[in-house]
């Protein structure tokens, strides 16, 4: 009976771990396929959203941070999946730029920054060509970058929870050169939610222990 009770509690602990956000240190390798784009574009370039099937699952929307690389519809490749602040991206040494990119993306998602200006601002953080584009030069995007870089230097790392980086692995693509890098966002549960959920699991564990003793 002791073994059964231990197994039950262990399974509940595993359940909690599985429902928590994936560790930033995981650096999983995933298979990506570009399956669609939204209707947004500027300067003849598509902007967020880009739709991807990752490991064959239902499409998710990601934003591109790599202006100088190109991809084509239906193209597949492998990517390292890691946290935005992992330092494992194509521009790994530019951590402050990644922070600004993440904050810009979250501002696009909450509607405080327009899609086209936001995506070009992200591109401008990593590409001189993007900075020299007509759209970037003519829409105050440089000021947007400056504002978010200043903000990125002040906010805690907790502000970047849920932001995921998909960094292409050169040579795995089905077409052309090294694909683009993308950023995704998955909202994480609030700490209070996790606490209540954990309390519920502990209560359930107590019930199961009592029932097991009666068997």
Residues 213 and 175 in one domain: no
Q: Whose CA is closest to 184, among 94, 87, 123, 102?
A: 102
Q: CA triplet 210, 212, 215: central angle to 5 degrees?
A: 120
Q: What is the pTM of this model?
A: 0.77
Checking phi first, is residue 194 left (phi over 0); if not, alpha (psi -120 to 50) or beta?
alpha
- 188 in Cβ contact with 19 (< 8 Å): no
Same structural domain, 2 and 81:
no
Structure-model confidence comparison of residues 200 and 188, the more confident one: 188
Count of domains forming the chain: 2
pLDDT of residue 202: 41
Domain residues for the domain of 9 are 1-20+189-215
11 and 117 in a single domain? The answer is no
Q: Which of 56-70, 89-103, 191-205 has the lowest mean pLDDT?
A: 191-205
One domain for residues 6 and 67: no
Question: Is 70 exceeded by the pLDDT of residue 12?
Answer: no
pLDDT at 188: 67
Query: Which of 27-36, 57-66, 194-203 shows the lowest mean pLDDT across its residues?
Result: 194-203
Is the pLDDT assigned to residue 124 strictly greater than 90?
A: yes
What is the predicted pLDDT for the residue at 189? 59
Mean pLDDT of 76-98: 96
Q: What is the 8-class DSSP label of residue 84?
A: T
**Percent of the chain's residues with pLDDT above 90:** 73
Q: Are residues 136 and 210 in the same domain?
A: no
Q: What is the pLDDT of residues 125-165, one digit of tens each?
A: 999 999 999 999 999 999 999 999 999 999 999 999 999 99
């Amino acid at each position: 009976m002791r073994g059964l009770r231990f197994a039950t509690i262990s399974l509940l602990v595993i359940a909690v771990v599985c429902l928590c956000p994936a560790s930033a240190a995981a650096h999983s390798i995933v298979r990506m396929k570009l399956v669609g784009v939204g209707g947004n574009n500027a300067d003849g370039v598509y902007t967020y959203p880009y739709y991807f099937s990752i490991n064959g699952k239902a499409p998710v929307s990601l934003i591109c941070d790599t202006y100088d690389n190109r991809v084509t519809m239906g193209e597949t490749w492998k990517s390292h999946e890691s946290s935005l602040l992992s330092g494992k991206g194509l521009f790994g040494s530019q951590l402050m730029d990644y922070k600004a990119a993440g904050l810009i993306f979250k501002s696009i998602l909450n509607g405080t920054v327009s899609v086209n200006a936001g995506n070009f601002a992200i591109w401008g953080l990593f590409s001189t060509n993007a900075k020299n584009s007509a759209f970037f030069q003519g829409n105050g995007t440089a000021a947007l970058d400056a504002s978010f870089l200043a903000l990125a230097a002040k906010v805690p790392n907790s502000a970047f929870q849920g932001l995921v980086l998909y960094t292409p692995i050169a040579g795995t693509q089905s077409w052309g050169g090294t694909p683009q890098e993308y950023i995704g966002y998955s909202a994480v549960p609030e700490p209070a939610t996790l606490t209540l959920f954990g309390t519920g699991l502990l209560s359930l564990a107590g019930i199961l222990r009592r029932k097991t003793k009666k068997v």
